[in-house]
Amino acid sequence: MSNIAIGAHIGSDDPITDAKALNIPHIQLFCGEPQTFKAAVFPHPGGAQGLKAQAQAENIGIYVHARYVINVASPNNKVRIPSRKLLQTDVDAAAEIGARAVIVHGGHITEEDDPTLGFENWVKALSGLDMKVPVLIENTAGGNHAMARHFDTIARLWDFVGDTGVGFCLDTCHAHAGGISMNDVAEKIIGITGGIDLVHCNDSRDEFASGRDRHANLGEGNIAMEDILHCLTTANAPVILETPSDGVVADIALLNSSLN
């Protein structure tokens, strides 16, 4: 048995209490509205310090998902510069609550842009980032000009950022929807990045290579369960479920019984 720690994304204002109810060792949350560039907001009645204190008292780890609007690869100054600032905001917020890492999407460029510019923009963003907690770049499901959708672009991105201290978060739904075969995705990502630091474990509502990021509860989507389990055991990293909340209890039970 692999003894992989299984957690979940929590969207409530009292996430540690919810984590205790689910009997999970770690959670993921946002520190602000995911589709905005607004200041950090801490989902806890006691604010940042209350969240940190309760998490420490209950021995529950925290991961922070950076805002979806962040795109540090963009050649557009009006997107790239605010994205860098917001990534720093989310890293600072994560440090304030004692989080283990910040997960951020790889971003994208446009059809007219040289992909090298996107990779160079990642280097510039990281060189100016006060990385108070580890930053994990996550693979994405859609976009023909994404920095972290396919193996070739992930490999090129890692050629640029591999020595900056960033890690990698593998999302199973994003891989499937992005057109990556699930039967050996973990092996290939490890070969590129040297390791997987976190897995977002999600089934996919849509078909292979759809480009659509729509999560499903485990066993209710289009990814074979044996491929998901093989991915998790190969990655041998902490797991976060981002599946629909009404089925997350069953998802946790399924993974614990299958892996632990």
d(CA 60, CA 57): 8
Question: Which class for 92: exposed (0-12), middle (13-18), buried (19 or more C-beta within 10 A)?
Answer: middle
pLDDT band of 260, cuts 50, 70, 90: confident
The CATH number assigned to the domain holding 220 equals: 3.20.20.150
d(CA 72, CA 122): 6
CA 182 to chain centre: 17
Alpha helix (H) ranges present in 97-217? 115-127, 151-161, 172-178, 185-193
In 10 A of CB 20, how many CB atoms?
13
Alpha helix (H) ranges present in 128-180? 151-161, 172-178
d(CA 141, CA 173): 7
In a domain, 213, yes or no: yes
Query: Residues 197, 170: contact at Cβ < 8 Å?
Result: no
In a domain, 112, yes or no: yes
In a domain, 237, yes or no: yes
In a domain, 219, yes or no: yes
d(CA 153, CA 253): 35
Give the pLDDT of residue 28.
98
| Number of separate domains in the chain | 1
Could you identify the residue written with the tokens 């599946």? 243
Least confident piece of the model among 17-21, 111-115, 230-234, 235-239: 111-115
In a domain, 218, yes or no: yes
In a domain, 235, yes or no: yes
Query: Residues 233, 183: contact at Cβ < 8 Å?
Result: no
For 199-239, what is each residue's pLDDT tens digit? 999 999 999 999 999 999 999 999 999 999 999 999 999 99
pLDDT band of 162, cuts 50, 70, 90: very high
In a domain, 238, yes or no: yes
In a domain, 76, yes or no: yes
Question: Which class for 59: exposed (0-12), middle (13-18), buried (19 or more C-beta within 10 A)?
Answer: exposed
Query: Residues 233, 259: contact at Cβ < 8 Å?
Result: yes
Tell me the residue range of the domain where 207 lies.
64-259
